[in-house]
Amino acid sequence: MIKYITRRLIQAVPTLIGITILSYVLMLAAPGGPVAALTFDPRTSPQERQAVAARLGVNDPIPVQYLRWLLGDDWMRVDTDNDGLADRAFLIPLDADHDGEPEPPGRRKGILRGDFGNSFFRRRPVMDVIVARIPATLELGLAALALSLVVGVSVGVLSAVRRGGWFDNMSRVMAVIFNAVPVFWLGLILILIFGSRLGWLPMGSRCAPTLTGGCPPIYARIEYLLLPTFVLATGTIASWSRFMRASMLDAMGQDYVRTAHAKGLPRHTVWFKHAARNSLIPLATFLGPAITTILGGAVITERIFSWPGLGGIAVSSVIQQDYPVIMAVVIISAVGTIIGFILTDILYAIVDPRIRLD
């Protein structure tokens, strides 16, 4: 198991590097840029815009920008006059002194050494911005994943057991509806009904404003979690319930299930202990894509419900073209997806004892 996980992690390194290269090129190819967003005042002179671009480092060639983001800017320090002092090879203002050596204010170590740089607009380290938002995203994502698993599997099993009944027909209709309805439309409708008209649930945010600025434990603000969790989980519930139903129907037609019935075992024992357990084997392959789907859906859901997570910061950073924050979100999403697929393989081996990863 350890050897398999290590091998998969090593194989994921080229994939992760390819994702960063493609994302960086697409990000820089977008029209506009951080300089245009920071210097939108028409009275700003071309010289001032050029100075801002030089300070941010966005006027360098794309390979240089990517390598500086990846490796830091130490490699760009060269001694041009043989006086023992390292000058900058590119135009970035020098206003600090470290050990007697001029040093730029934006000097970075690169993401390979854990430095994601500073946000162009928030003027804070990117890791501080991300770390402040990760708990909210994990809270919403894990709640939606747990709800999807419990409800999706339960509905699928009951639909297969009651095949052709009213519950089976209703669940199929609801699955089609939840797959077809856009997440943003469903979220807005639920806010209108349960938040505005009935006033039963809050219309947004993670918790009520407090003097300390934090949020109480989840059990004290569960009402804020209900709507966004349901909206984020609906698509996954619909997919998992249909897949679980098909897998359960296939298992119930196998010889070992008929043998269990012939031995006189109770029906619920046959359904849940024998058929349902084996039906979960194919479902384990859905965990990796489910993590990706939930991370992607959180961007829309968090925006609709004003949830202070990575989704909201990602949308605002894309609009502002805040390159360091965008790439940090890309890295986190890519790593989460890779880990999700590794967990899928591990769960597949746990559920099916015939599979050996080693």
3-state SS of the chain is CHHHHHHHHHHHHHHHHHHHHHHHHHHHHCCCCHHHHHCCCCCCCHHHHHHHHHHHCCCCCHHHHHHHHHHCCHHHEECCCCCCCCEECCCCCCCEEECCEEECCCCCCCHHHCCCCECCCCCCEHHHHHHHHHHHHHHHHHHHHHHHHHHHHHHHHHHHHCCCCHHHHHHHHHHHHHHHCCHHHHHHHHHHHHHHHCCCCCCCCCCCCCCCCCCCCHHHCHHHHHHHHHHHHHHHHHHHHHHHHHHHHHHHCCHHHHHHHHCCCCHHHHHHHHHHHHHHHHHHHHHHHHHHHHHHHHHHHHHHCCCCCHHHHHHHHHHHCCHHHHHHHHHHHHHHHHHHHHHHHHHHHHHCCCCCCC
Residue 224 clears pLDDT 80, i.e. is over it: yes
Under the banding of pLDDT at 50, 70 and 90, the label for residue 356 is: low
Whether residue 353 has pLDDT greater than 80: no
In this prediction, residues 159-175 reach a mean pLDDT of 85
- Whether pLDDT at 318 is above 70: yes
**Phi, then psi, of 78 in degrees rounded to 5:** -125, 155
- Least confident range from 47-61, 165-179, 219-233, 319-333: namely 47-61
Q: Specify the higher pLDDT residue, 355 or 215.
A: 215
Whether the pLDDT of residue 84 is over 70: the answer is no
Q: Looking at residue 210, what is its pLDDT?
A: 67
CB of 248 closer than 8 Å to CB of 160: yes
Q: How confident is the model at residue 102 (pLDDT cuts 50, 70, 90)?
A: very low
State if pTM tops 0.95.
no
Burial class (CB in 10 A: 0-12, 13-18, 19+), 269: exposed
Whether the predicted pLDDT of 20 surpasses 80: yes
* pLDDT per position as a tens digit, 51-60: 777 777 777 7
Return the higher-pLDDT residue of 74 and 298: 298
* pLDDT given at position 88: 39
The rounded percent of the chain whose pLDDT value lies above 70 is 82
Average pLDDT, the chain: 76
- Indicate the residue type of 50: Q
The predicted model gives 254-260 an average pLDDT of: 78
**Whether 129 contacts 325, CB under 8 Å:** yes
- The pLDDT assigned to 67 comes to 82
**Is it the case that residue 269 has pLDDT exceeding 80?**
no
pLDDT value at residue 79: 39
What's the confidence (pLDDT) of residue 111?
A: 79
Report the alpha-carbon distance of residue 108 to residue 105 in Å, rounded.
9
Does position 27 have pLDDT exceeding 70, yes or no? yes
Lowest mean pLDDT segment, chosen from 81-85, 253-257, 299-303: 81-85
Report the percent of the chain where pLDDT is more than 90: 0
How many Cα atoms sit within 13 Å of 233 on the Cβ side? 22
- The predicted pLDDT at position 301 comes to 86
Residues 6+ apart with CB under 8 A from 198: none
Rounded mean pLDDT, 106-119: 73
Class of the domain covering 126-351: mainly alpha
Of 124 and 86, the one with more pLDDT: 124
pLDDT at site 92:
36
Confidence class of residue 83 from pLDDT cuts 50, 70 and 90? very low
What's residue 11's pLDDT? 82
Domain layout of the chain by residue ranges:
31-113, 126-351
Q: What is the pLDDT of residues 213-222, one digit of tens each?
A: 677 778 778 8
> What pLDDT sits at residue 41?
65
User: By mean pLDDT, which of 10-19, 80-89, 136-145, 306-315 is the weakest?
Assistant: 80-89
